[in-house]
Structure formats: C-alpha cells, structure tokens
C-alpha cells in the first residue's frame, strides 16, 4: 500500500511555498520500523570481548537496535572474569551464552563488528564483508586489571558506535 506524504518548504526570498509529494510503501515502512536493526559483535570464542560489547550495546543503544554476539569457535561458557568486570559497571552477563557465528546472523545484521583476532585461521573478519575491525586484545588468560582495561576500551568503542548510528 502506498501512502502519499505531503510536505511544504519555504526557502527564504522564494515565494510561494513549494509543495512536495512523496509516496511511501507503508508495508515496507512498517516492517523496517518494527524490526529492530541488529548489530553483530564477533570474535573467535565469543567468551569475552564480543560478549562485553553486546552487554554495553544493550545498555547504551536506542531501542530500535538489537545487539548480538557470536564466534567462529565459541567456547562452552563466558569467561568468568569478563562476567565479574561487567558486574562492576552494573551489567549482568550471566544470561548470555556463547553462540556460533552463522550466515543468517551476518545477513540480518545492519553492522558487523570484529573485536580483533589472535587466531587468524578462525578470524571472523575472513568470513564477513565490510566488517568494522576494533582490534581489541584478547582477554583470555589476562589479569583482572588487564580485563578492566579491555572492558573500558570496549565501552568507549561501543559508545562511539552508538553515537554514529
């Protein structure tokens, strides 16, 4: 169904008003506006960086955006230190689970963010076109202090991403 939307504009020193008619496919408009735009955060294990990015994005992003995270070789659980440092900033990740990266996730995402790769053979950037690469160090095996620095870097990057949407 097409709906006509009229608008009038006034340009200084030009009279009269200019009337513009625009036709919008309302079915597509409703679908696009009701469907949240997905932002996908990817890494190899989906146990630390991408999970933290998902948590921060869920906190800071407008409601029309939905975060997801996944990995090419996900582990069975999220890094407990990542959960701990996120709790320190008021974000509970205990309900999040590592997920395997799929073509469907990639296709349905408005943006894909690669957190950084230590394992070049399994790097998500190899499988995704037009990926944003943040190159954040892998928190695996790091101390709690190093994990906090990584968390803070991810928060900064997520806030910058949210303001650019």
pTM of the model: 0.75
Please confirm, yes or no, whether 43 is among the known catalytic residues: yes
- Let me know: does 112 contact 132? Beta carbons within 8 Å: yes
CA quadruple 130, 51, 123, 102: dihedral positive or negative?
negative
DSSP E strand stretches across 105-160: 109-114, 132-133
Please confirm, yes or no, whether 117 is among the known catalytic residues: yes
Question: What value, to the nearest 5°, has the Cα angle with vertex 152 and ends 148 and 156?
Answer: 170
Question: CA–CA distance from 133 to each of 8, 28, 121 (Å)?
Answer: 43, 31, 16
Tell me what pLDDT residue 33 has: 57
Q: pLDDT (tens digit, 9 = 90+) per residue, 125-162?
A: 555 667 888 999 989 899 999 999 999 999 999 999 99
Please confirm, yes or no, whether 23 is among the known catalytic residues: no
């Amino acid at each position: 169904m097409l709906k006509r939307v009229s608008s009038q504009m006034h340009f200084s020193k030009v009279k009269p008003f200019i009337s513009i008619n625009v036709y919008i496919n309302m079915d597509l408009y409703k679908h696009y506006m009701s469907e949240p735009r997905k932002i996908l955060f990817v890494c190899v294990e989906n146990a630390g960086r991408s999970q933290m990015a998902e948590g921060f994005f869920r906190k800071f992003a407008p409601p029309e955006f939905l975060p997801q995270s996944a990995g090419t070789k996900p582990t069975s659980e999220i890094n407990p230190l990542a959960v701990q440092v996120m709790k320190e900033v008021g974000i509970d990740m205990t309900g999040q689970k590592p997920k395997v990266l799929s073509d469907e996730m990639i296709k349905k995402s408005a943006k894909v963010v690669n957190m950084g790769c230590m394992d070049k053979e399994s790097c998500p950037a190899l499988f995704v076109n037009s990926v944003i690469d943040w190159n954040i160090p892998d928190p695996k095996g790091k101390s709690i202090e190093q994990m906090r620095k990584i968390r803070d870097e991810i928060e900064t990057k997520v806030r910058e991403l949210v303001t650019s949407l």
